[in-house]
Each structure stands twice: as structure tokens, then as C-alpha cells.
Amino acid sequence: MANKRNDTEVFINNKKYTLSGFESEEYLQKVAAYINTKISELKTLDSYRNLDNDMRTILLEINLADDYFKVKRRFDDSENDSDSKSSEIYQLKHEIMSLNNKLEKTNKEIEKLREDIVEEQKKNVKLETELNAERERRIPERGTKK
Amino acid sequence: MANKRNDTEVFINNKKYTLSGFESEEYLQKVAAYINTKISELKTLDSYRNLDNDMRTILLEINLADDYFKVKRRFDDSENDSDSKSSEIYQLKHEIMSLNNKLEKTNKEIEKLREDIVEEQKKNVKLETELNAERERRIPERGTKK
């Protein structure tokens, strides 16, 4: 809706009407075109052509209301669908958070295990050094015994 | 829509109409009630009460069509929203897959590192055993020298 009230000429069922309101001319022409399409659709039906004007008007109104209810139903379905998707997104984000936490823990564990390995390897080097020293000490002693 | 064509009496703007069609009576009464609500709303407006019947009818039709376009717009927005959510769900699922892969890799790495630690510890035990054996061998030799 615009702020300025304006007059718009539309043709509905080949009759000219001047509508005064806040809606844009573009929108009102779209609405008029839609109503004319519904009238054209009804005019293809024998059952409609045989009716008096009053009954034709009522049938048009019912058809317009029917379109409203049909799209309203699709809208409600779409909203329900959108709500389910929101819940799914919430759950998926929760799962991602949980996986990231697990991953952080495992990465810390890997870091810790790598440190542990380095410690064990240091111990190994120390023990090998000690062992070599012991062996070197023993060999000359044997040598002296020969 | 049911399969059986049936006649339904409805009151629209206080006039009785017999509608023949496949829609259920319940649905047609809902449609009639909705049209009557729109008429009641229009009747509260001075600008409507001063109009002739033809213009009143056109205004009602425009109001019905306006309701249709409004809900149609909300439906389109909801569908767009639903589409964005579907894309988000797709991305989140992809992220979960990727995180699960990473987690699997890190868990395998943890397993491998634990095996490596056991290997290093075995080496340590072996070296300690060898070192102790060397020391024990050396001590008696020294002893005999005393």
C-alpha cells in the first residue's frame, strides 16, 4: 500500500469501474485481471452460461473464495513444513556442536598421546645410552681378562 | 472433493442459494461463511453503504481477490523460506558427514598412537631387562675382582 489515496480505472467483465484507495494502480490491475480470468474460466462452462446474473455473481464469489482457501491450505502446509525444517535444523546444529566437541576431545587426546610417545622415546634413548655404556664398560673388562 | 455430486443450500448476504457440485457441504458452508464475513466487514464502511449493488459486488470481489493475493504472497514467502531451509539442511548434513569422517580419522589415529605407545613401552621393558642383565653381569665380575 502506498500512502497516497488514488483513483484507478479497471475493467471487470468488460465494465469500467473507478476504484479509490491506497493500493497501487499496478496491484489493482493485477487483481482485476485475476477476476477477469476467473470469469472467463466460468464462461467456458455451459452450467454457468445458463444461470442468471445473481447466480453468476455468487458462483464467481465462491470461486474466488475457493482459490483463497486452496492457497491458504497450501500456505498452512508450507508453514508446517517450514516448522519441521526449523526443528531439523536445530537438531542438526546440535549434532554438529556435539561432533565438534568430540573432535576437540580426540584432538587433545592425540596431542597427549604424541607427548606420551615422545616421553617413551626419550626413555628408550636414555636406556639405550645406558645399555651401550654398560656394554662398553664390560667389554674392556673382559678384554683385560684374556 | 468427494466423488458424488450433491446439492448444498447456503445463505450468502441473507439470500438462499442452492449450489450443485462435488465439494462437501461442510466446505461450501465454510466458503459461504467466509464470504458473509467479508460482506459484514464491508458493511461497516460508510463508503460501501453509499454504493449501488453493482459497485458493492465489485468491491466484494476485489476484497476476495485481495485476500487471495495476500495469502498467495505469504505462501510464496513461506515456500522461499522453506527452500532456504532445505539448502541449509543439505549443508548441515554435509558438514555432519565431514565431521564424522574427521572423527573417524582421528579415532583411527588414536588407535594407531596407542599401538605405537605399546610398542615403545615394550622396547623400554626390553631395554630395561637388558640393562639390568648387563648390570648384574658386571657387578659379580667386579665382585670377583675384590
pLDDT in tens, B75-109: 999 999 999 999 999 999 999 999 999 999 999 99
Q: Kindly determine whether residue A64 and residue B69, on different chains, have CB atoms separated by under 8 Å.
A: no
**Chain B positions in Cβ-Cβ contact with residue A134 (cut-off 8 Å):** 131, 134-135, 138
Q: B61 to chain A, minimum CA–CA distance in Å?
A: 6
The pLDDT of residue A6 is 85
* pLDDT mean values, one per 10 residues, chain A (146 residues): 77 93 92 97 91 94 97 97 97 98 98 97 95 83 52
How many angstroms separate the CA atoms of A72 and A64, rounded? 12
Q: Kindly determine whether residue B69 and residue A31, on different chains, have CB atoms separated by under 8 Å.
A: yes
Whole-angstrom distance between the N-terminal and C-terminal Cα of chain A?
Answer: 115
Instruction: Supply the ipTM of this predicted assembly.
Output: 0.80
Q: B64 to chain A, minimum CA–CA distance in Å?
A: 6
Q: Are B117 and A116 in contact (CB under 8 A)?
A: yes
A51: DSSP letter: S
Predicted TM-score of the model (pTM):
0.80
Q: Are B18 and B9 in contact (CB under 8 A)?
A: yes
Could you say which of B64, B74, B128 has the minimum Cβ distance to residue A75? B74
Q: Which ranges of chain B does DSSP label H, i.e. alpha helix?
A: 25-43, 46-49, 53-145
Q: Is A9 left (phi over 0), alpha (psi -120 to 50) or beta?
A: beta
